[in-house]
Structure formats: C-alpha cells, structure tokens
C-alpha cells in the first residue's frame, strides 16, 4: 500500500527506494502490532532507571550532527520536490 501511495505522490520506484527504502523494507511484511499506543516508553524507562535524561533510552537516537544513522536521515531531496514546495536552497561558500 505504501508503494502505491508513493506512486500517487509521483515518486518512481527508484526514488521511493532511495529516499524511503528504510520504511519500505521495515514494513515489507506489515506493521508490528502496536494498537496506536505511544506513551513515551523511553521516558518511563529513564524514570525507572533513576536517570535525568532519556538519551540512553531513545530507540532511534541522532548523532552529534543531528543525523539518524539507522535510516540515513536527513537525506537529499530532488529539485522537483523543492520546487513543489517553493523552497530555494542558498549555499554559503
């Protein structure tokens, strides 16, 4: 279904795999049962462990550069996507 949604949004299979391959691969056999519950499990774990920060309990932590290395995010987007959103990138030299 997710692949069909990417087609509707105008992504080729190659573009979708390049930008969202982590998601497509993760849900290849469907989403795990979760019941829509997101109660802050990382925060609960930090409370139970008696620590002040949840950093050690975050499932998908970012590195010091703000990158999520598990899903290679943020990643580059195409010029067509920038144009669609009227975003112009200004690169400082």
- The pTM assigned to this predicted structure is 0.43
- pLDDT (tens digit, 9 = 90+) per residue, 19-40? 888 888 887 777 776 666 666 7
Q: 49 pLDDT exceeds 90?
A: yes
User: Where does the pLDDT of residue 48 fall: very low under 50, low under 70, confident under 90, or very high at 90 and above?
Assistant: very high
Q: What average pLDDT does the segment 42-70 reach?
A: 81
| Confidence check: pLDDT of 56 > 70 | yes
Over the chain, what is the mean pLDDT? Answer: 82
b (16+ CB within 10 A) / e for 71-86: eeeeeeeeeeeeeeee
């Amino acid at each position: 279904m997710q692949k069909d949604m990417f087609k509707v949004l105008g992504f080729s299979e190659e573009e979708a795999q390049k930008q969202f391959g982590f998601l497509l691969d993760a849900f290849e056999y469907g989403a795990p049962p979760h019941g829509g519950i997101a109660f802050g499990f990382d925060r609960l774990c930090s409370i139970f462990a008696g620590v002040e920060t949840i950093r050690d309990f975050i499932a998908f932590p970012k590195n010091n550069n703000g990158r999520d290395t598990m899903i290679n995010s943020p990643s580059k987007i195409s010029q067509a996507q920038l144009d669609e959103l009227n975003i112009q990138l200004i690169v400082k030299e």
